[in-house]
Amino acid sequence: MNDLRLEEFELPPIGEDEILARVVSDSICMSSHKAAAQGAGHKRVPDDVAGNPVIIGHEFCGELIEIGAKWRGRFKPGQKFSIQPALNYKGSLDAPGYSYRYIGGDASYVVIPNEVMELDCLLDYGGEAYFYGSLSEPMSCIIGAFHACYHTQSGSYTHKMGTEPGGRLALLAAAGPMGLGAIDYAISCENKPSLIAVTDIDGERLKRAERLLPPEKAAARGVRLIYAMTADPGELMGFTGGRGYDDVFVFAPAAPVIELADGILSRDGCLNFFAGPVDPRFFAPLNFYNVHYASTHVVGTSGGNTDDMREALALMEKGLIDPAAMITHVGGLDAAAGATLGLDKLPGGKKLIYTHIDMPLTAIADFERLGRANGMNGPDAGLYAELAEIVAANNGLWCAGAEKALLRHFNV
C-alpha cells in the first residue's frame, strides 16, 4: 500500500489483437489515490500487485502508434484516442489504471489489450488539446451520475431515468473539480433543471466556482444558479419556496453532508451519493420515514459508461461545456506518484500530468510568480512567464494554447 514508483522498463511486442499507444496527458483521479492507499485490498487492484505491479492512471489521452493486424481496418497510427476504463469485461472489475501491467495513464507508452477494443472502449478523439481527452473520463462519471438518478409516478412502478427536467437541483460540497463539472453539465444538458443551488464550506473555492460559472451564464440558458456557503437546511429550502429538491448530489463523503441532503429532498426526491469513501464501513443516518411515505431514494454510481464518455466528448467539441475549470495544477511524469499519494491533502482541483516531460507539480496560479523568479531549478522562468501570459488571457484557465507551449518547450 502507498507504494508508487517511477520505473523504466521495456514493453513487450504487441500481439495481433493489441495496439501500441503513446500517452500524452493524464489527469489524476481520487480513485487512483484510493487504489494506491488500499493496494491489493482495492476491488480493481490484483491480489499479486506486489510482485506484478500495475500502471496507475485512468484519465488519459494520446495517440495510436502501432496497430495489431486484427484492428488495422478500424484504427490507424496517429489517431488521437481516449479510453473508457470501466470495461466490465466478462463480469470482471479489471480496468486500465488499476489492474493491468502494461496500460495506465501515468506512462509514456502503453499496450492496449484486445478487450478494450472488443468492448468499444477505445474512443476516437478529434479535439485540439490532449487534456480535454483526459477530462472526458471524469466528465463521463458526472454524466453517468445524472443519468442514474431516477423518479417515479404515483400508481406506477416504472422508473423515469435521469434528473428531473425543469426540476430543482442541489449540489452539496460542490466547489471542487467534480462539482464544477457537474455545474457546467447541469446548465448545458438536455434536461436542464430550473434551479441549481451550489454549496461548499470553502469560501475561496465557492468564489472561484462563481467566477468561472457565473449565474449570468446559467440564466442565459434558462437556469437560476445560486451559490451559498451554508449548511442550513432552512436556507436551502427557502430557495425552493419550501418545496425541496428533486435531485441532490453529495460531493463529499461526510455524514453531515448526507444528512443535509436527505433533509432537503422533495417528495420522490433522489439523493445521489457521488463521492466514494475510502472507509468500507462508512455510514450515515437516513430518514426512512420519508423513504416510506415520501418515496425518497438513494443512488450511487462509480464511473460512467462509453455512451457517457461519447456525450462528454461531443459536448466539449461543440463548446457547450469546458471542463478546463477542473484543472489547477500541471506537472510532468516525475510528479505523478507524489501527487497521487498526496492527493487528499493537496489544495486545489485536478492535477494534470504530461507524461513525456519532467516538471514539478505546479499550481497554475503560481505561473506568474515563477515567471519572475531567477536561478530556479527545473523548467526555466521563461516557460512559466509564457504560460502565465497564455492562461491570463483565458480567464486563468489551462487551455489548448498553454498545452501547445508546454509541449513545444519540451520538444514533445
DSSP per residue over 198-266, as a string?
Answer: EE-S-HHHHHHHHHHS-HHHHHTTT-EEEEE----HHHHHHTTTT--EEEEEE-S--HHHHHHHHHTEE
395: phi then psi, degrees, rounded to nearest 5: 60, 30
What is the pLDDT, as a whole number, of residue 374? 60
Distance, in Å, from the CA atom of 58 to the CA atom of 66, rounded to the nearest integer, reads 21
Distance, in Å, from the CA atom of 158 to the CA atom of 155, rounded to the nearest integer, reads 9
DSSP 375: S
Sign of torsion over alpha carbons 329, 326, 213, 252: negative
Percent of the chain beyond pLDDT 90?
87
What is the pLDDT, as a whole number, of residue 82? 96
332-340 average pLDDT score: 97
When pLDDT is cut at 50, 70 and 90, the band that residue 377 belongs to is low
169-180 average pLDDT score: 96
The mean predicted confidence, pLDDT, of the chain is: 94
Report pLDDT digits (tens) over 101-157.
999 999 999 999 999 999 999 999 988 899 999 999 999 999 999 999 999 988 889
Domains of the chain, by residue range, sit at: 1-150+303-412, 153-294
pTM of the full predicted structure? 0.90
When pLDDT is cut at 50, 70 and 90, the band that residue 381 belongs to is confident
Same fold? 1-150+303-412, 153-294 = no
What is the pLDDT, as a whole number, of residue 92? 87
Grid cell for residue 101: 501491467
Grid cell for residue 159: 422508473
When pLDDT is cut at 50, 70 and 90, the band that residue 217 belongs to is very high
When pLDDT is cut at 50, 70 and 90, the band that residue 379 belongs to is low
Beta bridge partners of 172: 250
168-172 and 160-161 beta bridge pairing? unpaired
283-308 average pLDDT score: 94
When pLDDT is cut at 50, 70 and 90, the band that residue 174 belongs to is very high
Using the predicted structure, report yes or no on whether residue 334 has a pLDDT greater than 70.
yes
Three-state DSSP at 364 gives helix
Grid cell for residue 347: 489544495
Torsion from C-alpha of 311, 314, 320, 323, nearest 10 degrees: 70
180-204 average pLDDT score: 96
CB 246 within 8 A of CB 275: no
∠ CA 118-120-124, nearest 5°, is: 130
Using the predicted structure, report yes or no on whether residue 88 has a pLDDT greater than 90.
no
390-405 average pLDDT score: 97
150-151 and 160-161 beta bridge pairing? antiparallel
Three-state DSSP at 379 gives coil
When pLDDT is cut at 50, 70 and 90, the band that residue 278 belongs to is confident
Residues in the chain: 412
- What's the farthest any 2 CA atoms get from each other in the chain? 73
Could you tell me the CA-to-CA distances from 26 to 105, 135, 387 in Å, in that order? 5, 8, 19
Grid cell for residue 25: 496527458
What is the pLDDT, as a whole number, of residue 287? 97
Burial of residue 201, with CB atoms counted within 10 A of its CB: 0-12 exposed, 13-18 middle, 19 or more buried:
middle
| E strand residue ranges, 251-388 | 265-273, 297-299, 327-332, 350-354, 362-363
CB 324 within 8 A of CB 397: yes
DSSP H or E stretch at residue 409 = helix 400-409
CATH topology of domain 153-294: Rossmann fold (3.40.50)
What is the pLDDT, as a whole number, of residue 29? 93
What is the pLDDT, as a whole number, of residue 380? 81
What is the pLDDT, as a whole number, of residue 378? 53
Nearest to 200 by CA among 243, 165, 236: 236
CB 412 within 8 A of CB 24: yes
11-24 average pLDDT score: 98
Report pLDDT digits (tens) over 20-43.
999 999 999 999 999 999 999 998
What is the pLDDT, as a whole number, of residue 376? 53
Grid cell for residue 14: 504487441
Grid cell for residue 53: 505491479
Range of lowest pLDDT (5-9, 192-196, 332-336, 380-384): 380-384
Using the predicted structure, report yes or no on whether residue 393 has a pLDDT greater than 60.
yes
Establish how many alpha carbons lie within 13 A of residue 243's alpha carbon, considering only the half-sphere containing its beta carbon: 12
DSSP H or E stretch at residue 35 = helix 30-38
DSSP H or E stretch at residue 9 = none
Distance, in Å, from the CA atom of 324 to the CA atom of 213, rounded to the nearest integer, reads 12
- Homologous superfamily (CATH) for 1-150+303-412: Medium-chain alcohol dehydrogenases, catalytic domain (3.90.180.10)
Residue 220, C-beta contacts closer than 8 angstroms, at least 6 positions apart: none
